[in-house]
Amino acid sequence: MVLLTNIPARNPGTLTGPGNNTWLLDGAHPTLIDAGVGHPEHLEELSRHLAGRALSRVLVTHGHPDHSSGVPALRERWPAVDVHRWPSPDASACVPLRDGEQVPAGDLVLEVVHTPGHAADHVCFWEPRSRGLFCGDMMTATTTIMVPPAARGGSLREYLASLQRLAALGPAVAWPGHGPVITDPVGRIAEYLAHRAERERQVLACLNDGVTDLDGIVARVYADTPPALWPAARLTVEALLEKLGKFGRDVVGGL
């Protein structure tokens, strides 16, 4: 049995939806998957669950602020906590994770799966007994994932390869960084791959029709999306054009 509790990070917003999930795996090594943002109510709820015990470790799925910026507050509350992250310039005080490494968490052992694409330092944590996956920002139950261009640490090619790698594990359940638990991760990944293929067809149709500026492509392909999300869509289209080898050559615009 997996002793797992979602401790909400209390950071609702346009890109975070209802706010981030942080997952407490209780047991011999109380472990938090993702750090939240240091909101006082997040720390209080975590303290209540630990009931006087120390937090052993934090496993950070990636360095985006909604997943990692709570680390200093967690260190302040539990000074002996070990923070594990994929190596990156802003993770110097953390224990570096390696692909395939086994990490004790709660009463379980999680396996590190490096899944770049949404962010270069993104990892998932695989729990083989339950076939459960802590999937960070690789997928959600209700939305698609923003995959930024290379200048922002993203790669659509790598993201698609990471999805394929996760599908090959055959997860039965996935615990995401945002939104509800995903009860059919393999089916969700298939939907994502089909969605990306459809977006690629739509963007190629724009190019064929002579729409060759980034904003024009976003306005056409994302016509049904609220304009508040267009800046994120713009980055996703830029990443798609990079994958196609079109950005900066056939399409102008970008950041």
Report, in Å, the least distance between residue 178 CB and Zn ion: 9
Our CB check for Zn ion shows the closer of 156 and 217 to be 156
Alpha-helix runs per DSSP H in the chain: 40-50, 65-68, 71-77, 156-169, 185-208, 214-221, 230-243
Helices (H), 78-141: none
**Choices 26-34, 63-71, 100-108, 157-165 (CB under 5 A): range interacting with Zn ion:** 63-71
Cβ-based nearer residue to Zn ion, 39 or 131: 39
Looking at residues 130 to 169 of the shown chain, list those that interact with Zn ion (rule: CB under 5 A).
137
Contact 160, 117 (CB under 8 A): yes
- Would you state the structure tokens that stand for residue 174, as one six-digit string? 């996935």
As a whole number of angstroms, the distance between CA 233 and CA 244 comes to 16
Q: Nearer Cβ to Zn ion, position 102 or 143? A: 143
Report in angstroms how near the CB of residue 200 gets to Zn ion at its nearest.
22
For residue 165, report the phi and psi dihedrals to the nearest 5 degrees.
-65, -40
Nearest residue (CB) to Zn ion, 4 versus 235: 235
Least CB distance to Zn ion at residue 175 (A): 15
The type of residue at 221 is V
Q: Retrieve residue 152's tokens.
A: 């922002």
By C-beta, is 13 or 128 nearer to Zn ion? Answer: 13
Q: Tell me the closest approach of the beta carbon of residue 107 to Zn ion, in angstroms.
A: 28
What residue type is 58 in one-letter code?
V
Residues 111-130 that bind Zn ion (CB under 5 A): none
Six-digit token string for 103: 């990490």
Q: What are phi and psi of 46, to 5 degrees?
A: -60, -45
- The one segment of 5-13, 26-34, 64-72, 102-110 that binds Zn ion by CB under 5 A: 64-72
Site for Zn ion in 188-247 (CB under 5 A): none
CB-based closest residue to Zn ion = 64
Instruction: Give Cβ neighbours of residue 105 (< 8 Å, ≥ 6 apart).
Output: 25, 29, 31, 33, 57, 59, 125
Q: Which of 164, 86, 73, 81 is nearest to 119 (CA)?
A: 86
Separation between Cα atoms, residue 17 and residue 189, nearest integer Å: 20
CB of 236 to Zn ion, least distance (A): 13
Q: Pick from 10, 42, 64, 85 the residue near Zn ion by CB under 5 A.
A: 64
Size of the site for Zn ion (CB under 5 A): 2
The residues carrying an active-site annotation are 66
Task: Return residues touching Zn ion (CB under 5 A).
Answer: 64, 137
